[in-house]
Amino acid sequence: MAEKPVCIATQVPEDEDTHKEENIRCLTMLDHFGFECLPLQLVNKSIQQGFSFNILCVGETGIGKTTLIDTLFNINFKEHKSSHFHPNVGLKIQTYELQETNIQLKLTVVKTVGYGDQINKEASYQPIVDYLDAQFEAYLQEELKIKRSYVKYHDTRIHVCLYFIAPTGHSLKSLDLLTMKKIDSKVNIVPLIAKADTISKNDLQMFKSKIMSELADNGIQIYQIPEDDEASALVSVSGHLPFAVVGSMEEVKVGKRMVRGRQYPWGVLQVENESHCDFVKLRDLLLCTNMEDLKEQTHTRHYESYRSYRLKKMGFTDVGPDNQPISFQEIYEAKRKEFSEQCQREEEQLKQRFMQRVKEKEAAFKEAEKELQEKFEHLKRIQEEETVKLEEERRQLEEEIIDFYKTKAASESLQAQSGTNIKKDKERKK
């Protein structure tokens, strides 16, 4: 705020009216008074804390995402080129600390990797949707903490999505329509026609009209620039969206000055020449006039929608069953009671299932024990029968042995008697 001069007049005699102006002393105030200093306090506080801005670049490999980001911030971030042979769609996240004069900016750039390179493109949008939801969920969890620290917290919610459209000149691809339809409720979409120098001016204007018509027919909501803001009104939505952009960090000599552009056999395309492309309009929209509005729309519209959905899913509401306002404490106590009752019910169910399984196991064990007992009795009977049979065989064997010894003794006796008789006969003959 500029310093205000204060004029102090000294007392002058009436006869010296002609010299009044010469005796007026003008003093300059060195400070401000009153609440008119509030904007200055906010500016100083914001400068001390710094600013953050998060950009999501969605587009096919090689369509010029990295080159455009380099051109927007006039910095060569020196990133490696992506390959066309990724099996799935991924995201590459880079955070940079930038400074312009005394303004610090934490820039986070998220780029798709392998987008549109797969044969089956059915779920190519899913990693993008998951990432957007994950950033909302991280911020929601920070809000729900008892001790929050928004100053130190790095807000990674995406503020703007630069959707790069291939310069076909015909119409949007089904993948473009499907992806934008899935993310238009989660992020501010700014459609871009990449490499717009490959299309003639007449075809480019027709292509723009066709794209806007297809977006409207499919109910896709893109970022709406607030026309009531004088600075924002400088960038007219109706005549320039989607922005036809060309990126280049090369300096080309045009006349006596060096400009950023591309050298062709037919001439030079100047990136910052508004008659050649819409790069300047895009840069002014993102960095000069609407950065804060993009961040505000992300918080008040997209994040609030996600937050409302998540809290309703958890059972929170603003009114009770009688359509009367209900406090957060009442909802918490009701949910706590409901959760406690649910835990008790589940505990009872677990106990019943446990007792049922114990009874089933006991019955199974008893049945197995019965089967084992019956098998044991059967084997015992078989053993007893075998024992009896063996005893009978042993008795018969013993009887046979006794008979054998008797027969043997009788035989020996007969042999001995026969020998005696023979001896007597011999003696008798002599």
Q: Examine the pLDDT at 371 and tell me if it is beyond 90.
A: yes
C-beta separation of 133 from 111 below 8 A: no
Could you give phi then psi for residue 315, rounded to 5 degrees?
Answer: 105, 5
- Cα 203 to chain centroid distance, Å, stands at 38
Q: Examine the pLDDT at 383 and tell me if it is beyond 90.
A: yes
Band of residue 193 on the pLDDT scale cut at 50, 70, 90: very high
Contacts 24+ apart (CB under 8 A), 358-362: none
Compare 306 and 311 and report the one with higher pLDDT.
Answer: 306
| Residue-level pLDDT at 9 | 42
Q: Examine the pLDDT at 403 and tell me if it is beyond 70.
A: yes
Band of residue 164 on the pLDDT scale cut at 50, 70, 90: very high
Query: 146: number of CA atoms within 13 Å, CB side?
Result: 0
What is the number of helices (H) and of strands (E) in the chain? 11, 11
Q: What is the mean pLDDT of residues 365-371?
A: 93
- Cα 12 to chain centroid distance, Å, stands at 78
Q: What is the mean pLDDT of residues 352-357?
A: 93
Query: Which stretch of 36-45, 202-211, 344-353 has the lowest confidence by average pLDDT?
Result: 36-45
Helix H or strand E encompassing 134: helix 126-143
| Residue-level pLDDT at 10 | 43
Residues 246-288: tens digit of each pLDDT: 988 888 888 888 888 888 888 888 888 888 888 999 999 999 8
DSSP sequence for 47-95: HHH-EEEEEEEE--TTSSHHHHHHHHHT----PPPPPS--SS-EEEEEE
Band of residue 3 on the pLDDT scale cut at 50, 70, 90: very low
Q: In angstroms, rounded to a whole number, what is the distance separating the alpha carbons of residues 59 and 2?
A: 47
Band of residue 413 on the pLDDT scale cut at 50, 70, 90: confident
Q: In what order do the strands lie in the sheet with 243-244?
A: 90-100, 103-113, 51-58, 160-165, 189-193, 243-244
Q: What is the mean pLDDT of residues 317-343?
A: 77
Q: What is the mean pLDDT of residues 96-108?
A: 90
| Residue-level pLDDT at 41 | 83
Q: Examine the pLDDT at 231 and tell me if it is beyond 60.
A: no
Q: What is the mean pLDDT of residues 409-428?
A: 81
Tell me which range, 100-104, 134-138, 267-271, is most confidently predicted by mean pLDDT.
134-138
Q: Smallest Cα–Cα separation from 187: which of 96, 54, 95, 282?
A: 54
What are residue 48's DSSP bridge partners? Answer: none
| Residue-level pLDDT at 429 | 72
As given in the structure block, the two tokens for residue 136 are 């909302």
Q: What is the mean pLDDT of residues 426-430?
A: 72
Three-state SS at 319: strand
Three-state SS at 45: helix
| Residue-level pLDDT at 368 | 93
C-beta separation of 50 from 105 below 8 A: yes
Band of residue 320 on the pLDDT scale cut at 50, 70, 90: low
Compare 330 and 352 and report the one with higher pLDDT.
Answer: 352
Band of residue 120 on the pLDDT scale cut at 50, 70, 90: confident
Separation in Å, CA 426 to CA 71, 376, 419: 152, 74, 11
C-beta separation of 118 from 173 below 8 A: no
Which amino acid is it at 123?
Answer: A
The whole-chain average pLDDT of the chain stands at 84
Q: Examine the pLDDT at 134 and tell me if it is beyond 50.
A: yes
C-beta separation of 128 from 179 below 8 A: yes
Taking the chain, what is the end-to-end CA distance rounded to the nearest angstrom? Answer: 178
Query: Which stretch of 23-37, 262-276, 294-308, 409-423 has the lowest confidence by average pLDDT?
Result: 23-37
Which amino acid is it at 427?
Answer: E
C-beta separation of 280 from 274 below 8 A: yes
Residues 6-23: tens digit of each pLDDT: 444 444 445 545 444 556
Q: What is the mean pLDDT of residues 73-89?
A: 78
Three-state SS at 9: strand
What is the CB neighbour count within 10 angstroms for residue 176?
24
